[in-house]
């Protein structure tokens, strides 16, 4: 059961945008302009098609778009900076030309890519390394006033699934959040600009992922900032369900319903931001959970 929200702790400041997460949660829609992302790799490499898809997801009710030009799936190889820029900038510019007030996030580990995306109108940096991958990233975020997502990950996308180990994954992710918050604010980033992501599937086994999902309420209570959850279509879902998928383990569409179920359950535990590939089912799950929500006290 969710505790009554602290309104100040649920306000996300992103370069002039104020996303108030106290009344309700919101959807961050995924738009990968990559050839090799695990779910939609190659689907939106054409900028015109990517722009159309982004506008469609906004029309479906997404509060923000997360645009990425480098896959962070397990085992992914790094992408050169110029190639990543070539993929993402036309899409960001095209979407904002049509929807100037749209809230756009750049999903990148590289400070120059973040800087260029912010220069053409992006408002958020979603950094899976939590400012550890590029020594200039904290400076770029602080100077721009951008919102930032700090995610927990062991190692790098190339190495993160090589036998990850924890003594207590929930406690260790909570401690990581505290350390990253302190480091980010010391670098000049406004605490109100920060959102935290437990990094489901990033350096975690199935058991680690399930432990985190069962204790999202604890993470939400201890984090002092909103949580973002990204479980959409991830490989732990068929591992979790096993025979229930009846031979559809490799069918990404079969992961859509479990994703929406997790969205609803996570909202009941206090998670306000949900990063997903499909807006309508997850937005419906989110609003259903909120309609049935009973707050403590």
Residue-range domain boundaries for the chain: 24-71+83-290
Residue 184 CB-half CA count within 13 A? 32
Superfamily of domain 24-71+83-290: Dihydropteroate synthase-like (3.20.20.20)
C-alpha 274/C-alpha 66 separation (Å) is 11
Find how far residue 270's CA is from the centre of its chain. Answer: 15
The end-to-end CA distance of the chain, in Å, is 10
pLDDT, tens digit, 9 for 90 and up, residues 131-162: 999 999 999 999 999 999 999 998 766 666 77
Q: Which residues are catalytic?
A: 234, 275
Output the pLDDT for position 180: 97
pTM recorded for the entire structure: 0.91
Query: pLDDT class for 296, splitting at 50, 70, 90?
Result: very low
Tokens of 256: 């859509």
pLDDT, tens digit, 9 for 90 and up, residues 54-74: 999 999 999 999 999 998 777
């Amino acid at each position: 059961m969710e505790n009554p929200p602290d309104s100040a702790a649920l306000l996300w400041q992103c370069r002039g945008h104020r996303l108030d997460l106290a009344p309700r949660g919101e959807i961050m829609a995924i738009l990968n302009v990559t050839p090799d992302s695990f779910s939609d790799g190659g689907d939106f490499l054409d900028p015109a098609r990517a722009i159309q898809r982004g506008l469609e997801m906004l029309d479906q009710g997404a509060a923000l778009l997360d645009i990425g030009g480098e896959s962070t799936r397990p085992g992914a190889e790094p992408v050169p900076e110029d190639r990543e820029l070539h993929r993402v900038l036309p899409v960001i510019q095209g979407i904002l030309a049509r929807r100037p007030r749209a809230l756009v996030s750049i999903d990148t580990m590289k400070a120059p890519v973040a800087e260029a995306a912010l220069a053409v109108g992006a408002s958020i940096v979603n950094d899976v390394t939590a400012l550890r991958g590029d020594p200039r990233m904290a400076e770029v975020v602080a100077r721009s006033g951008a919102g930032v997502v700090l995610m927990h990950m062991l190692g790098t996308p190339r190495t993160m699934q090589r036998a990850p180990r924890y003594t207590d994954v929930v406690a260790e992710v909570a401690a990581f959040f505290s350390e990253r918050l302190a480091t980010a604010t010391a670098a000049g980033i406004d605490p109100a600009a920060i959102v935290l992501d437990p990094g489901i599937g990033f350096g975690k086994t199935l058991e680690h992922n399930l432990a985190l999902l069962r204790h999202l309420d604890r993470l939400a209570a201890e984090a002092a900032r909103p949580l973002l959850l990204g479980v959409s279509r991830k490989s732990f879902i068929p591992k979790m369900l096993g025979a229930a998928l009846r031979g559809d383990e490799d069918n990404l569409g079969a992961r859509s319903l479990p994703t929406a179920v997790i969205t609803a359950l996570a909202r009941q535990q206090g998670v306000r931001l949900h990063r997903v590939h499909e807006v309508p089912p997850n937005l419906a799950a989110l609003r259903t959970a909120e309609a049935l929500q009973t707050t403590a006290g």
